[in-house]
Chains A and B, each alone.
Chain A
């Protein structure tokens, strides 16, 4: 039920208003509206109940296991939120003088330093406001680098077919042509195909490692050498660093530029389209092009450095210096973990993923790469179930909702037919994982005995199976008053 449908003529939330409301100065008739504004007429308590009920219908990390692969739905520690909400932070005006925000700038400077350390890059800018913007900044720096050397024949960015869909989009936004590199049978990039594809037209390659296939590319050194020898640069899509934190660093693998989704790896709230943070890190040769502003330390004080200090910068990514609230939460999270905690994140993220993978295989599911060790996530393929029982990955995903689990990512990456991409994260307990495995086993049994039932799932949610096609072709999210329009 929409809040408009609770509306009752003349009802209002006026408990806080004084009895005598002063009327505004009289307005000319031409400025007065003739019809009432299209707002629900409801009491304050109706509003509270309406939105509380809506929130209870939601799946969230605070209420459910949420193994949404590639999205890293891990627990967001409350302390990060509490500390980042201190009035000294929230009350700071972004245009205020640096001297009045030394505490905040000190945190941001330290965050830059920590991200340098954890990625092995030489410098970091925090300003990109989300992952896709970080990617754009990264590719723009690659372009600025080639342009500054008058190396303008480099018009192509190589993108493995297992990459995040945003990678080719970012390359195109920067004016590059995209060439796809196939994946070999074992999930690694097809090195021979890569060797054939590189040349004087290669500006760079965009790579995710571990890849979206849930495996770590073992030939990363050969890939880096191949691209560098052709004069191209290496871009690391650091959307998700959970499996490598404190274990291996993109800078050491030979990457020239990286973006990091702090809202994933560094555990800030995300998933609702809310603010993200996509800082970029670079190798020595890309330092001059980093987006501004950045934070520097001059003696005892912290200052913002801008275009005057960095004349070759690609410019600004956002109005100020990035999403301050998200950056602060990530800083506090990193501070709480410390160096040892970081590598424990990787230990448990991979342990949980491998435990789930092995046990789901044992109950009868097929892994896309059964011989490979999982990273922080892994892929099941339901090709067999689709063929034998006409039960698809989507049917299993929808059925999981009936059992109070958020569904894994479905049909991504596109390379694997009927796939579920599962990422448990390091913050889940073994009992939760066991509960998920038991449920997956029940659903597999249901697929064998009553596939038709699965095709209609979910049964227990406020809405039943949604019509995906209609949602795309006839999207209608505007409420209209049926009585009035009738």
Chain B
């Protein structure tokens, strides 16, 4: 049974978005997503300074089973990336909501977060599948 914390929002494409105290948004993939993908072996990170649109692909995670695009759940500019994933992509398997974060976005419009699912909504979405 996968874990879905209630402190953040979720996209149907299985990313989570966490609003930080400084108004930036931290992004990663959900426990459910890492379970489906299996052992991750490679992460292609976005570039710092790159602008992204909501729903736009900006990163790739690759497991022994599949390669999967990561879509930004919010529009803005990438201001930080988790470089430690380059050597340890398995961090996403071990701690998808903490050390396995992928990038941080400075949002143009934080209200876009409201369009995402909450934890119950996301849990219902994946249970339906």
Binding site for B on A (CB under 8 A): 410-412, 414, 417, 468-469, 472-473
- CB-CB under 8 A from A469, the residues of chain B are 39, 41, 64, 90
- CB-CB under 8 A from B65, the residues of chain A are 410-411
Interface residues of B in 31-60 (CB under 8 A from A): 36, 39, 41-42
Nearest CB to that of A383 among chain B residues? B129
- 11 pairs, A vs B, C-beta closer than 8 Å: A411-B65, A411-B66, A414-B66, A417-B36, A417-B129, A468-B39, A469-B64, A472-B41, A472-B42, A472-B64, A473-B41
- CB-CB under 8 A from A411, the residues of chain B are 65-66
Interface residues of B in 50-93 (CB under 8 A from A): 64-66, 68, 90
Which secondary structure dominates where chain B touches chain A?
loop
Top 6 closest pairs, chain A to chain B, by CB: A468-B64, A472-B41, A411-B65, A469-B39, A414-B66, A473-B41
- CB-CB under 8 A from A410, the residues of chain B are 65
Contact-size category for B: 10 to 19
Question: In the bound complex, what is the Cα–Cα distance between A410 and B36 (angstroms)?
Answer: 13
Nearest CB to that of B129 among chain A residues? A417
Most A CB within 10 A of own CB, among B39, B64, B66: B64
Most A CB within 10 A of own CB, among B42, B65, B90: B65
- CB-CB under 8 A from B41, the residues of chain A are 469, 472-473
Nearest CB to that of B62 among chain A residues? A472
Nearest CB to that of A393 among chain B residues? B65
Question: In the bound complex, what is the Cα–Cα distance between A414 and B65 (angstroms)?
Answer: 9
Question: In the bound complex, what is the Cα–Cα distance between A419 and B61 (angstroms)?
Answer: 20
Question: In the bound complex, what is the Cα–Cα distance between A468 and B40 (angstroms)?
Answer: 10
Nearest CB to that of B65 among chain A residues? A411
Minimal beta-carbon separation of A297 from chain B (angstroms): 46
Q: Among A414, A468, A473, point to the contact of B68 (Cβ < 8 A).
A: A414
- CB-CB under 8 A from B68, the residues of chain A are 414
- CB-CB under 8 A from B66, the residues of chain A are 411-412, 414
Minimal beta-carbon separation of A178 from chain B (angstroms): 10
Question: In the bound complex, what is the Cα–Cα distance between A95 and B56 (angstroms)?
Answer: 50
Question: In the bound complex, what is the Cα–Cα distance between A411 and B39 (angstroms)?
Answer: 13
15 further contact pairs, Cβ within 8 A, besides A410-B65, A414-B68, A469-B41: A411-B65, A411-B66, A412-B66, A414-B66, A417-B36, A417-B129, A468-B39, A468-B64, A469-B39, A469-B64, A469-B90, A472-B41, A472-B42, A472-B64, A473-B41
Question: In the bound complex, what is the Cα–Cα distance between A411 and B90 (angstroms)?
Answer: 19
Question: In the bound complex, what is the Cα–Cα distance between A411 and B62 (angstroms)?
Answer: 13
Nearest CB to that of B67 among chain A residues? A165
Question: In the bound complex, what is the Cα–Cα distance between A411 and B68 (angstroms)?
Answer: 13
